[in-house]
Structure 1
Amino acid sequence: MILNTILWGLAGASALAYLPLTGRAPGFWRSGIKTAPLSLFALMALLHGGSSWLIFGLIFSALGDLALSRDGERNFLIGLVSFALAHLCYVFLFWGEVDTPFWPAIVILAGVALSTELWLAPHTGDLRGPVRVYVLLISVMTVLALSLPQELRLASRGAVLFLLSDLILAIQLFRMAPGTRTARSAGYLLWTLYICGQGAILLAFVPRVWGLS
Structure 2
Amino acid sequence: MPDKLGEMLAVATAIPALAAAVVFWLRFATREVKGPVGAAVKTASTGLLAVLGLALAVALSPGGWFWLFALGLALGALGDLMLALGGLRRFLAGVAAFGLGHLAYAGGFLWQGAALGFDGLSLPEGLALGGLLALLASTEVWLAPRTGELRAPVRGYVGLIGLMGAATLMLPAHPGQGILRIGAALFLLSDLLLALQLFVVRDAGWRRRLALTLWPAYWAGQALILWGAVQFAGVG
Class of the TM-score when normalised by the shorter of the 2 chains = over 0.9
Match of 1:182 in 2: 206
Amino acid at match of 1:36: A
- Are residues 35 and 145 of structure 1, via their aligned partners in 2, closer, same or farther at CA, if it must alter by over 3 Å? same
- Are residues 4 and 27 of structure 1, via their aligned partners in 2, closer, same or farther at CA, if it must alter by over 3 Å? same
Distance 2:104 2:23 in 1: 28
Match of 1:9 in 2: 15
Runs of 5+ consecutive residues of structure 2 not aligned to the other structure: 1-6
1:166 paired to 2:191: yes
SS of 2:73's equivalent? Answer: helix
Match of 2:228 in 1: 204
Q: 1:29 aligns with which of 28, 37, 45?
A: 37
Give the Å deviation of 1:146: 2.1
- Are residues 105 and 140 of structure 1, via their aligned partners in 2, closer, same or farther at CA, if it must alter by over 3 Å? farther
Give the Å deviation of 1:121: 0.2
Amino acid at match of 1:62: A
Q: Which 4+ runs in 1 deviate beyond 3 A?
A: none
Q: 2:182 aligns with which of 150, 157, 172?
A: 157
Q: TM-score, with normalisation over the residues of structure 2?
A: 0.84
Give the Å deviation of 1:207: 4.2
- On the 8 A contact 2:110/2:170 being kept in 1, the answer is no
User: What does residue range 79-90 of structure 1 map to in structure 2 within 5 Å?
Assistant: 79-90=94-105
SS of 1:148's equivalent? Answer: coil
Give the Å deviation of 1:149: 2.3
Q: TM-score, with normalisation over the residues of structure 1?
A: 0.93
Distance 2:97 2:162 in 1: 16
User: What does residue range 9-88 of structure 1 map to in structure 2 within 5 Å?
Assistant: 9-20=15-26, 21-24=28-31, 25-49=33-57, 51-88=66-103
Give the Å deviation of 1:2: 2.3
Give the Å deviation of 1:4: 1.8
Give the Å deviation of 1:143: 1.4
Deviates more, 1:44-53 or 1:26-35: 44-53
Larger radius of gyration: 2
Runs of 5+ consecutive residues of structure 1 not aligned to the other structure: none
Distance 2:173 2:23 in 1: 34
| Aligned residue pairs, count | 210
- Are residues 77 and 11 of structure 1, via their aligned partners in 2, closer, same or farther at CA, if it must alter by over 3 Å? same
Give the Å deviation of 1:105: 3.0
Deviates more, 1:148-157 or 1:15-24: 148-157
Distance 2:110 2:182 in 1: 16
Instruction: Give the CA RMSD over aligned residues.
Output: 1.8
Distance 1:110 1:36 in 2: 33
